[in-house]
Chain A
Amino acid sequence: MKVVAKTANEAMAEAMRQINPDVVAAYPITPATEIVQIFSSFVHDGLVDTEFIAVESEHSAMSACIGAAAAGARVMTSTSSQGLALMDEVLYIAAALRLPIVICEINRALSAPINIHCDHSDTMNVRDSGWIQIYAEDSQEAYDSVIQAMKIAEEAFLPAMVTADGFILSHAMQRIDMLEDEEVQAFIGEHKSPYNLLDIYNPITIGPLDLQDYFFEHKRQEADAMMKAPEVIKKVADEFGQKFGRKYGLVEEYRLDDAEYAIVVIGSTAGTAKDTVDMMRDKGHKVGLLRIRVFRPFPAEEIVKALKNVRVVGVMDRADGVNAYGGPVFMEVRAALYEEEKKPDVYSFVYGLGGRDVKPVDIERVFQMIMDADKGKKIDRLNYIGVRE
């Protein structure tokens, strides 16, 4: 085990190096570019056996990844924002073809206007694509999750994206405990493919036309894989925790046991939020935090268990639904809680779009608002925090 100082980009690139995939097809885009650059230098210095394809667009990147994965290779790539959006149709195809591809995704706002900074609109945009989505709180988790994702994808036979917030994590130096190369190789094991295009003795047809009589069944099968994914993710996380000491789950509860008021948040904001929780606890408020680590498959059971005894919940979304009923995380959390006899009152807070900084005072304000709501003050169900109004 080595202790190093690395940004999330550097750490994820290191994880890729240690995984040593057979093929990487990638295209640069801020703020993920460094991952591709660093990995390219690994390739050109002979530090990995990977065949690297410098494709001419992200759409071709994912297309080449699909071809390579179908051919039985271990495949990874990296992108962000517009690049992820450009891959959109092919992302759905990769998931439906059940290929265990892993993306190191750096969260960045979708245009327009063009903005290179952090928000979750890019990954929320593809939440129904069939990909497993893991949101890291810090660079250590990003590094650890990339390694776990490779194993998860190859067991669930679903592709997975590990996301880290743009610039906040991707470009900020943090202390990382790195594993040894052999430990990573031992953990992920031999590559597993759902099928093999290159087996010319058993030729298969991949990607047929599926008409009204079969399409629905194939889609139901894909949904089933996503339903079985939480078990796979937990199993891999447990194994990782046992071997390397760092524990992960589908969600992370922070001081929720006796909390009356809670915030739900995804990604790096959780770090700031945890500090705010501590600060407010010191003042005597019974507050807590739920961080959702795995957004797809959606951990409804874990969320309900964590929140059902809380009085009021504020869900913070770093992506807007543009007059959907609240942000995406809010909608899904609320839907999960709907069944419960006794359930908290839930409010939506859209924040941090385009890298708008979120400070402890902003999170304190969210807590204040939901506490006021509990005391009978009329609060809007859907709110924006941190925008100049």
Chain B
Amino acid sequence: MGVIDIKKIAKTEQLFAPGHRACAGCGATIIIRQVLSVAGKDTVVGFATGCMEVVSTIFPYTAWEIPFLHVAFENVAAAISGVETAYRALKKKGKIKKKINFIAFGGDGGTYDIGLQALSGAMERGHDMLYICYDNGAYMNTGIQRSSATPFGAHTTTSPAGKKIPGKMQWRKDLTEIMASHGVPYVAQASPAYYQDLMQKVEKALSIEGPTFIDVLSPCPLGWYYATKDTIKIAKLAVETKYWPLYEVDNGVHRVTVKPRKFKPVEEWLKMQGRFRHLFKEENKWMIEYIQKELDKRWERLLKLEEAGL
């Protein structure tokens, strides 16, 4: 995959129009713009119910300059697998000739939790589609409730930092590895702060015939409690603190695509977000230590997998 020439891309037609009702500083909209800049006009997108679908398609306004399908919360993978199958059936009959990209988008809610079955089924069946999860680590659209993607210790409205229980007590699910275990040809993790890496991964995924999956970190100013201007800064810190390693599993082989020269301690990432504020209390310091240890462990594991060619 070639280097992404941002100047050239800035000249192409924008397929996600302004005038949508996303919050100021929303990470997910940045992700969508970067993805579509690579995917191009011959693309059909499906969205699970969630922030992006809701803010971009309020009748009669739509921000989409390409075909868009929304069915329900937990079934975008199934719906898009149906679209892709219809495409193959009609192509076989000679009714369609163009090559069309099929991309299903879901938030972590519609992907890790309620949508996991449909995602797993679609990936297992081998449909030629890309699934992108815009992962903001909670059910944001309904007002910040915990999902299985919510990081350990985070405050959400259903895992609040309370007097007895200080936030979410479970480590987040490693969906990227779960999808890698499905044996699909390509799986990756990306961050919108590293647009070259993200866009190259999307390009690669779309060039592969078969099911592909990319989990993208999507900072949310409202749910993570930070100033809107810091979205990209935080998306970068996540990578620099090992919270969100940027890697891919290409035909079953792990490869880390971005290796920061010097890592920052996880406190740098945590202290920027109000949802982790309570971790800095004396009685909760153990949580920060635990997080750092886990992140170090998981990073080491990733490096070892890469080294061993696994």
Produce 1/0 per residue, A190-209, CB < 8 A to B: 00000001111001111111
In the complex, which residues of chain B have a beta carbon less than 8 angstroms from the beta carbon of A200? 41-44, 66-67, 98, 100
Are B68's CB and A71's CB within 8 A? no
Are A53's CB and B100's CB within 8 A? no
Q: Known pairs A63-B82, A208-B57; list 17 more (Cβ under 8 Å).
A: A22-B90, A49-B93, A51-B85, A55-B78, A56-B120, A60-B75, A64-B85, A66-B79, A73-B86, A73-B89, A89-B72, A197-B44, A198-B83, A203-B64, A205-B64, A208-B70, A211-B59
B301 CB within 8 Å of chain A:
no
Are B57's CB and A67's CB within 8 A? no
In the complex, which residues of chain A have a beta carbon less than 8 angstroms from the beta carbon of B64? 203, 205
Are B57's CB and A209's CB within 8 A? yes
Closest to B42 in A: A200
| Whole-angstrom distance between the Cβ of A111 and the nearest chain B Cβ | 20
Q: A198-B67, A198-B100 are in contact. Are A22 and B81 (CB under 8 A)?
A: no
Assembly CA distance A269 to B39 (angstroms): 56
Are A204's CB and B67's CB within 8 A? yes
Are A49's CB and B79's CB within 8 A? no
Are B70's CB and A23's CB within 8 A? no
Assembly CA distance A72 to B83 (angstroms): 9
Are B120's CB and A22's CB within 8 A? no
Produce 1/0 per residue, A178-221, CB < 8 A to B: 00000000000000000001111001111111110010000000
Q: Which 7 A-B pairs have the closest CB atoms?
A: A67-B82, A64-B82, A56-B121, A207-B70, A73-B86, A60-B78, A71-B86
B200 CB within 8 Å of chain A:
no
21 contacts between A and B (CB under 8 A): A23-B82, A23-B85, A25-B82, A49-B89, A56-B120, A59-B78, A60-B78, A67-B69, A68-B82, A68-B89, A73-B85, A90-B71, A198-B67, A198-B100, A205-B57, A205-B62, A207-B53, A207-B57, A207-B68, A208-B57, A208-B60
Q: A68-B82, A209-B54 are in contact. Are A50 and B71 (CB under 8 A)?
A: no
A33 CB within 8 Å of chain B:
no
Give B residues with C-beta under 8 Å from A: 41-44, 46, 53-54, 57-60, 62, 64-72, 74-75, 78-90, 92-93, 95-96, 98, 100, 117-118, 120-121, 124-125
Assembly CA distance A82 to B65 (angstroms): 39
A93 CB within 8 Å of chain B:
yes
In the complex, which residues of chain B have a beta carbon less than 8 angstroms from the beta carbon of A209? 53-54, 57-59
Choice from A56, A75, A203, A207 contacting B118 with Cβ under 8 Å: A56
Describe B's contact surface by its main secondary structure: mixed
A57 CB within 8 Å of chain B:
yes
Closest to B43 in A: A200
| Whole-angstrom distance between the Cβ of B130 and the nearest chain A Cβ | 15
Are A25's CB and B68's CB within 8 A? no
| Whole-angstrom distance between the Cβ of B5 and the nearest chain A Cβ | 24
Q: A90-B75, A198-B100 are in contact. Are A204 and B68 (CB under 8 A)?
A: yes
In the complex, which residues of chain B have a beta carbon less than 8 angstroms from the beta carbon of A214? 59-60
In the complex, which residues of chain B have a beta carbon less than 8 angstroms from the beta carbon of A90? 71-72, 75
Assembly CA distance A50 to B86 (angstroms): 9
Are A203's CB and B65's CB within 8 A? yes
Are A64's CB and B58's CB within 8 A? no
In the complex, which residues of chain B have a beta carbon less than 8 angstroms from the beta carbon of A161? none
| Whole-angstrom distance between the Cβ of B57 and the nearest chain A Cβ | 4
In the complex, which residues of chain A have a beta carbon less than 8 angstroms from the beta carbon of B79? 63-64, 66-67
A279 CB within 8 Å of chain B:
no
Closest to A51 in B: B89
Are A70's CB and B81's CB within 8 A? no
Are B90's CB and A198's CB within 8 A? yes
Are A70's CB and B72's CB within 8 A? no
Are A25's CB and B85's CB within 8 A? yes
In the complex, which residues of chain B have a beta carbon less than 8 angstroms from the beta carbon of A57? 117-118, 121
Closest to B68 in A: A205
Are B74's CB and A59's CB within 8 A? yes
| Whole-angstrom distance between the Cβ of B173 and the nearest chain A Cβ | 19
In the complex, which residues of chain A have a beta carbon less than 8 angstroms from the beta carbon of B90? 22, 71-73, 198
Are B78's CB and A70's CB within 8 A? no
Which residues of A27-78 are within 8 A (CB) of B? 49-51, 53-57, 59-61, 63-73, 75
Closest to A97 in B: B71
In the complex, which residues of chain A have a beta carbon less than 8 angstroms from the beta carbon of B59? 208-211, 214
Are B85's CB and A206's CB within 8 A? no
Assembly CA distance A173 to B120 (angstroms): 39
In the complex, which residues of chain A have a beta carbon less than 8 angstroms from the beta carbon of B57? 205, 207-209
Closest to B15 in A: A203
In the complex, which residues of chain A have a beta carbon less than 8 angstroms from the beta carbon of B43? 200
| Whole-angstrom distance between the Cβ of B292 and the nearest chain A Cβ | 38
In the complex, which residues of chain B have a beta carbon less than 8 angstroms from the beta carbon of A60? 75, 78, 81, 117-118, 121
Closest to B74 in A: A59
Assembly CA distance A161 to B70 (angstroms): 23
Most B CB atoms within 10 A — which of A54, A55, A89?
A55
Closest to B98 in A: A200
Assembly CA distance A210 to B70 (angstroms): 12
Assembly CA distance A89 to B89 (angstroms): 26
| Whole-angstrom distance between the Cβ of B89 and the nearest chain A Cβ | 4
Q: A200-B100, A205-B68, A209-B53 are in contact. Are A67 and B89 (CB under 8 A)?
A: no
Which residues of A212-266 are within 8 A (CB) of B? 214
| Whole-angstrom distance between the Cβ of A133 and the nearest chain B Cβ | 22
Choice from B54, B83, B117, B121 contacting A70 with Cβ under 8 Å: B83
Q: A56-B121, A207-B57, A208-B58 are in contact. Are A70 and B85 (CB under 8 A)?
A: no
Which residues of A269-286 are within 8 A (CB) of B? none
Are B70's CB and A51's CB within 8 A? no
Are A199's CB and B67's CB within 8 A? yes
